[in-house]
Amino acid sequence: MSALAGLRVIDAATLFAGPTAATMLADFGADVIKIEHPTKGDPVRGHGYSKDGQSLWWANIGRNKSTLALNLGSAEGAQVFLNLIEQSDVLIENFRPGTLERWGIGPEQLHERNPKLIIARVTGFGQFGPYAHRAGFGTLAESMSGFATMTGEADGPPTLPPFALADGISALAISQAIMFALFAQKNPDSEGFGKGQVIDLAIIEPILAILGPHATVYDQLGVIPQRTGNRSVNNSPRNTYLTKDNKWLAVSTSAQSIAERVMILVGHPEVINEPWFAEGSTRAQHAELLDQYVGDWIAQRDAHDVVAQFEKAEAAVAPIYNIADVMNDPQFQALETIISIDDLVLGPVKMQNVLYRMDQTPGEVQWSGRSIGADTRTILTTRLGMSDEAVDSLLAKGVIGTSENK
């Protein structure tokens, strides 16, 4: 049985942190209902690449979820939502602060229906403060957290990632917070024992939390991190290097012993005896020299030879991969990091597997993202006990949508 079997989750979030967190829960057995607007659907359905009318992003982020097309902004839709809440354990939502309250389905009303409900509220800036009502996306979090200002070449502009980095980090944080809340609910030594609670996650915060001790360093020393390209202020050599056969490799020497092995390998053991070589931070002050030694040695050899010699020397090196390289790499293949799932539109489609392996309660990708409202009728009739006539009435009013009328 899956780790989260029996856990009922409602995913009423969009773009991208909340839905990704819900996918993580679904991958490990949670019963996740994805709520979308009956006509608009989740915005991710229109993002990025598509094939045969199917969003490839949706195929990933919508996997393992049942889909319910429901207009939460309508009175009847809100009532259906409240009825579902009575039978649910977790709600993930990312509407702007005040939206659910305006519709009469804010935390107060939700907890009246279900006192044990865990409500994860995901917004750019949190539920309070001067920016709370601003539109907030991961790009803004990457900008405001300090990530962008320290990313890029020293003489270049701040650099934003070309993917939803802050959202992905937030998704991990949200799923963790939900697990904390559920554990507290069952822990008699916790203030949360037997209770529901509200999780307020601002996307600007998790990415800041993983950047390291920058706040402490600034507080104590007044130091503001600067852009250093691929180099690090904490150790050297640490960079990307071009091989003789025109391939890029990354080298890291975070451990002192690894740094020493690298310099012996590239033919410059003499630097090991320099006083400045004894610590990563002082090695970083001599990055130009160390990069020259490592870069010149690598440039004279093909990538395969470099990797083989680094491995023999027990030093740390890795090729710079694109996604084609990832899918052809024997280590990723051994781990089954990429799997194939049958999609109703696309047929066999490859995607990332679940996040980690658990030997007793493994996760599983059972199906890819389904069409808008594919499960609306089933959810309303089996879970809420509504008649087909009642469902048809809501359908005619536009309160719900089903794949039957797409």
Same-domain status, 82 and 193: yes
Final residue of a domain: which of 300, 325, 350? 325
CA angle 167, 161, 43 (to 5 degrees): 45
Same-domain status, 186 and 312: no
| CATH value at residue 248 | 3.30.1540.10
In angstroms, the CA 262 to CA 258 distance is 6
Same-domain status, 295 and 390: no
For tokens 């939900």, the residue is 178
What tokens were used for 209?
Answer: 């939390």
What tokens were used for 229?
Answer: 């390209």
Same-domain status, 45 and 179: yes
Helices and strands in the chain: count of H runs, count of E runs = 17, 14
Same-domain status, 35 and 141: yes
In angstroms, the CA 333 to CA 43 distance is 32
Same-domain status, 254 and 389: no
Same-domain status, 190 and 66: yes
Closest CA to 7 of 214, 136, 178: 178
| CATH value at residue 109 | 3.40.50.10540
In angstroms, the CA 205 to CA 187 distance is 27
Final residue of a domain: which of 268, 295, 325? 325
CB-count exposure of residue 357 (10 Å: 0-12, 13-18, 19+): exposed
Q: Is the peptide bond before 332 cis (omega within 30 degrees of 0)?
A: no
For tokens 């559920």, the residue is 182
Q: Is residue 60 part of a domain?
A: yes
Question: Could you tell me how far CA 208 lies from the centroid of its own chain?
Answer: 15
Same-domain status, 251 and 186: no
Contact present, 50 and 198 (Cβ < 8 Å) = no
**Positions of E strands within 223-328:** 239-242, 248-251, 317-319
Same-domain status, 260 and 297: yes
CB-count exposure of residue 49 (10 Å: 0-12, 13-18, 19+): exposed
Distances (CA, A) of 177 to 112, 183, 190, 236: 22, 10, 15, 36
CB-count exposure of residue 346 (10 Å: 0-12, 13-18, 19+): middle
Tens digit of each residue's pLDDT, the chain (406 residues): 799 999 999 999 998 999 999 999 999 999 999 999 999 899 999 988 999 888 999 999 999 999 999 999 999 999 999 999 999 999 999 999 999 999 999 999 999 999 999 999 999 999 999 999 988 889 999 999 999 999 999 999 999 999 999 999 999 999 999 999 999 999 999 999 999 999 999 999 999 999 999 999 999 999 999 999 999 999 999 999 999 999 999 999 989 999 999 999 999 999 999 999 999 999 999 999 999 999 999 999 999 999 999 999 999 999 999 999 999 999 999 999 999 999 988 999 999 999 999 999 999 999 999 999 999 999 999 999 999 999 999 999 999 999 865 4
Q: Is residue 91 part of a domain?
A: yes
Contact present, 203 and 145 (Cβ < 8 Å) = no
**Active centre residues (catalytic):** 167
In angstroms, the CA 238 to CA 259 distance is 9
Same-domain status, 51 and 80: yes
Domain extent at residue 117? 8-210+340-405
Q: Is residue 283 part of a domain?
A: yes
Final residue of a domain: which of 325, 351, 380? 325
- 3-class SS of residue 322: coil
Same-domain status, 48 and 183: yes
DSSP code of 269? G
Please report how many Cα atoms fall inside a 13 Å half-sphere around the Cα of residue 29, on the Cβ side. 12
Residue 54's pLDDT is 86
Q: Is residue 331 part of a domain?
A: no
Same-domain status, 191 and 278: no
Q: Is residue 228 part of a domain?
A: no
Distances (CA, A) of 52 to 63, 340, 346: 18, 18, 7
Q: Count up the domains in the chain and report the number.
A: 2
Q: Is residue 333 part of a domain?
A: no
Q: Is residue 264 part of a domain?
A: yes
Distances (CA, A) of 207 to 96, 124, 136: 20, 12, 14
What tokens were used for 311?
Answer: 């491995």
Q: Is residue 164 part of a domain?
A: yes
In angstroms, the CA 228 to CA 152 distance is 7
